[in-house]
Structure 1
Amino acid sequence: MKVRSDILRTYQGVHTWTGIIAGLVLFIGFYAGSLTMFKHEIQRWAAPVTAPKVTSSDYDYQKLVDTVISVRGEQLAKGFNLDLHTQDAPLSWYIKGSARGIELDKQLNYAHLNADGTLNVSAQTENELGDLIDYLHRTAGFIGEIGHDQSGVYILGIASVLYFLALVSGVIILLPTLVKTFFALRKEKGPSRFWLDSHNLVGIASLPFHLVIAFTVVVFAFHDFIYGGLAQFYDDRPLFQRPTPAAQSFHIENLPSIDEQVLAAKSYAPGYEPIHIRYSNLNSASPSAVFMMSNNNAVVRGPDTDYLFMNPYTLEVVNSSYPQGEDAVWGNMVASIFSLHFGTYGGEWGRWGYFIMGLLGAFLFYSGNLLWIDKRFKKDPNKRSTLFMAKLTIGVCLGSMIAVAFTLVAAKWLSTFVANANYATLYSYYTAFFAFVMYSFLKPVQKATTVGLYLLASLCALMVLSTLVKLALNDGNTLFYSSYMVDIVAAMFAVIFFKMSKHQQQKQATQSIMPAFEQASQT
């Protein structure tokens, strides 16, 4: 396909500058986003469970609920959680904080029945490691709030608009040679050409994924503005109908049995199994029970499971993440958009696919920056602005990965020594991140890259070693094996990063991946 040279130059400029402006922010979002696909496994890996597994087949949930209501009814009326597939105490409620948002000092009471039927209630600070990784994914680590949302959410939304422009312009640039060079990895034509071919291959091969992510991030960031604009066409009618409150308030003592509620949920969604119930406002005219519904053979439209919203007293389903028919067009559309971004709609294979594509997306931004830097250094090896961008790219990209790995290792041990590890976990990330960014500006780029890769390899290996030491110290009583894949993946990346660091170390400055870039970095 032929495209005029002036058009190609225009789109080349658009692709270059949109990628450079948004690339570093999106690198962190994609790298952390790939980890969020397994954030629950990472959470269990960092704070493994010591209690025997409890399942619905050998536990009397109704007796537990009735017992706790009889002694803590006023507290439970505000809201409580009932986990039907837990590893520990099935019932919990917040005594500080709430389920929504990230608060580093959330506290919950956990309740379970002892073997003799007596009630056991214990307070515990909620471990926020998984949510902190998700926070990093949604905000790229930018702190502060704008309105009721984090500032980083809006920054990533703007970056995703630029990201979309970079995708479209990149495709147009490749159109004239797409068929001939799509699968070409021309290593014999020099390292720069090989990196460019790799960058183009990853971008084109995963284009549908990237278009979905770009679009959904913009929706997440600016959905309030979108709803406000759409509301102008609906006069005073709300886009999303809320259930009408009852004429009188309900009371928690009249709550139907758990079996009745579970049966009503299963009847609404045949083939699905309720695995968790979150209650709220039970002593009011608008009580709510949110059921997390699991089905390994169905498409999932939520971040982990499908959701069903029910009045726990009348057993009326007021909303769900399932298709709601033609009368709920906006609800269906939003649920579909959410499911495309979350990636869990494809089951385990879908999660692994999004994990890999998330890492490849991070590579796309990293390689794009290096290609730009190399090209600029070839034109002017002494340009300080280009050297600044080179150091910033190494510092931010490797620094964010080092910081996450360091935080995971820290989280594994902090809970042993402190009651609330959330603050220390958060500080661990920012301390490691800014420390390596500073190091990358103080040292030549090639040296900083080599040290960064060695650090990554060491931290990944330390994750595996931490598990082995913890397992030995607990005499095998701790259930680490529910998250064994975290250690396997960490071991694989330890080997990959070690080989990359050895390769980087052995290279001469004039034979590096980016020759002009590395030569200038030694000055």
Structure 2
Amino acid sequence: MKVKAEILRTYQSVHTWTGICAGLLLFIGFYAGSLTMFKHQLQAWIAPIPAELAAATAVPPQQLIDKAIAAYPQAMAKGFELDIAHEVPYLSWYSQGGARGMNLDNQLTYAFLNEHGELTTHIAGENKFADLIDYLHRSGGLFGEIGHDQLGVYVLGIAALLYFLALVSGVVILLPTLTKTFFALRKEKGASRLWLDSHNLVGIVSLPFHIVIAFSVFVFAYHDFLYDGLGKFYGDKPLFNMPTKTEQPYHINDLPKLELLLEKAHAYSGQHTTVHVSYNRLNSPAPFATLKMENPRALVRGPDTDYLFMHPYTLDVQNSSFPQGDTGTWGNTVATFFSLHFGTYGGNWGRWGYFVMGLLGAFLFYSGNLLWLDKRTRKDGEQKRSTLFMAKLTIGVCLGSMLGVVVTLVLGKTLQQSAFALNELYLWIYYLTFGAFIGLSFWLGARKASVFGLKALALGCLGLPLATMFVQYTNPYAASWLESIWVDVFGGVFAGIFLFAANKTKRRSQAREASSIWSMQAA
């Protein structure tokens, strides 16, 4: 296919500058997004369940609910959560803080029955490591808030628009040579050509995935504004199904049995299994229950599960993320599209697929910046200050953000039994590591910082199984360790990958021309 040269130059410029402007922020969003596919496994690895909770006795959940309501009626009336995914159920409620927001000092009270059938409670701080990963994914780690959401969410929404332009322009650039060079990885033409071929291959093969991600990120960021605009056309008719309001007071002593709630949920969708129930505002005129519903053979429309919202007293279905029949058209449409972003459909195969594509997406932005820097240096024939600045910033942000997460994992795991405020410590470790490596990158230069950063990442990943061994030796959690053993296994795998990349980068820098920013002679 032939495309005019001036059109190609225009799209080349669009592709370059949209990628440069949005690439670093999107790199953080993509690699953190790949980790969110297994954030529960990472959470279980860094913060195993308390030993007291692991010793709970398997009993019917209703027996546990009845004893907890009798012992703590006021706390339970505010709201409590019941985990029924495992053989041994347990309750929890917030004794300090709440579920909304990024509160670092939340305290949870866990309730369970011991071997004698007696109600036992255990108070522990709510561990927020998984929320930190999700925060990096949603906001790129940018501080600040606008309204009820983080500043970084809106910035990432703008970056998603630039990202979409980069995708479209990249396809136009490749059209003339797409059939000839689609699967070509030309090693014999040098490292730069191999990187360019890899960059193009990843971009084209995963294009549908990237289009969905780009569009859904923008909608996530600005959905309130979009809904307000659509609301003008609907007038008084709501876009989504809303629960019926009532002035009738309710009391927790009249709460129906759990099995009746589960039966009504099963009648609504027999293909789903309830794994978690959250009761809220039970002594108010507007109580509600949120049920997490699993269905590994269906398109799950939530970050982890489907959701069913019910009235805990009348047992009426108020809303769901998988509306049945002809109701909830907008809710069903929006939730279905968002499920493509979450990647929770298709079971573990879907999660692994999104994990790999998320990492490849991060590679797309990283390799794009390095290709531009290499081309810019060859074109200028010298190392300009602006090019050196961008090279140092690229290495510092990309490797520094990953190193921050790895160091937080290792130190967070080893300090679980300490008296530190762990959630605050997570933030301090991540941002200090991130900032320190950016500073180191500007001090050492891009070449030395890239080799050092990759070796540090390899050492950090190797530290994951070592941290597990340390915790097992000092305070064993055999069951929790076995449940999250894959974190240690893949820590060793990625340690090998990063070490290989460090050695490859070092050898390649020795062969570069002196004018290159990656050249050892130039450094």
Structures share a fold, TM > 0.5? yes
The farther-off stretch of 231-240 and 287-296 is 231-240
Change (3 A) 1:243 1:450: same
Change (3 A) 1:122 1:52: closer
Amino acid aligned to 1:499: F
Distance (Å, rounded) in 1 between the aligned partners of 2:54 and 2:504: 49
Aligned to 1:307, the other structure's residue is in SS state strand
Counterpart mapping for 1:236-385 below 5 A:
236-380=236-380, 381-385=382-386
Amino acid aligned to 1:317: V
Superposed CA RMSD: 2.0
Distance (Å, rounded) in 2 between the aligned partners of 1:86 and 1:423: 30
Aligned to 1:59, the other structure's residue is in SS state coil
The farther-off stretch of 274-283 and 242-251 is 242-251
8 Å contact kept, 1:56–1:85: no
Change (3 A) 1:188 1:78: same
Counterpart mapping for 1:161-176 below 5 A:
161-176=161-176
Identity %: 56
Q: How far is the alpha carbon of 1:328 from its aligned partner?
A: 1.6
8 Å contact kept, 1:54–1:87: no
Distance (Å, rounded) in 2 between the aligned partners of 1:244 and 1:145: 32
Q: How far is the alpha carbon of 1:476 from its aligned partner?
A: 6.1
Change (3 A) 1:56 1:332: farther
1:421 partnered with 2:413 = no
Corresponding residue for 1:433? 434
Distance (Å, rounded) in 2 between the aligned partners of 1:275 and 1:101: 23
8 Å contact kept, 2:30–2:359: yes
Change (3 A) 1:177 1:57: farther
Calculate the TM-score normalised by the size of structure 2: 0.96
The runs of 5 or more residues in structure 2 that have no matched partner are: none
Corresponding residue for 1:218? 218
Counterpart mapping for 1:378-417 below 5 A:
378-380=378-380, 381-417=382-418
Amino acid aligned to 1:496: I
Q: How far is the alpha carbon of 1:468 from its aligned partner?
A: 1.9
Number of residue pairs the alignment of both structures matches: 522
8 Å contact kept, 2:57–2:114: no
8 Å contact kept, 2:303–2:339: yes
Change (3 A) 1:463 1:101: same
Change (3 A) 1:207 1:515: farther
Superposed CA offset, 1:382-421 (max 9, x none): 3100110000000000101111100111110222112531
Amino acid aligned to 2:415: L
Superposed CA offset, 1:262-315 (max 9, x none): 111111110321110011111122211101011222221111111111111111
Aligned to 1:93, the other structure's residue is in SS state strand
Aligned to 1:326, the other structure's residue is in SS state coil
The runs of 5 or more residues in structure 1 that have no matched partner are: none
Aligned to 2:264, the other structure's residue is in SS state helix
Superposed CA offset, 1:323-366 (max 9, x none): 44433211011111221110001210000000000000000000
Aligned to 2:112, the other structure's residue is in SS state strand
Corresponding residue for 2:28? 28
Amino acid aligned to 1:414: L
8 Å contact kept, 2:81–2:91: yes
Superposed CA offset, 1:400-452 (max 9, x none): 11111001111102221125310001110000000000000001221111100
Change (3 A) 1:520 1:55: closer
Amino acid aligned to 2:185: L
Q: How far is the alpha carbon of 1:27 from its aligned partner?
A: 0.2
Distance (Å, rounded) in 2 between the aligned partners of 1:361 and 1:111: 42
Amino acid aligned to 1:390: A
Superposed CA offset, 1:202-240 (max 9, x none): 000000000000000000000011011111111233222
8 Å contact kept, 1:445–1:521: no
The farther-off stretch of 363-372 and 409-418 is 409-418
Aligned to 2:372, the other structure's residue is in SS state helix
Corresponding residue for 2:445? 444
Amino acid aligned to 1:232: K
Q: How far is the alpha carbon of 1:516 from its aligned partner?
A: 2.3
Aligned to 2:72, the other structure's residue is in SS state helix
The farther-off stretch of 353-362 and 4-13 is 4-13
Corresponding residue for 1:469? 470
Amino acid aligned to 2:394: T
Change (3 A) 1:269 1:353: same
Amino acid aligned to 1:453: L
8 Å contact kept, 1:453–1:500: yes
Corresponding residue for 1:126? 126
Calculate the TM-score normalised by the size of structure 1: 0.96
Change (3 A) 1:274 1:315: same
Corresponding residue for 1:49? 49
Corresponding residue for 1:195? 195
8 Å contact kept, 1:77–1:280: yes
Change (3 A) 1:196 1:48: same
Amino acid aligned to 1:73: P
8 Å contact kept, 1:374–1:515: no
Distance (Å, rounded) in 1 between the aligned partners of 2:509 and 2:521: 12
Amino acid aligned to 2:457: L
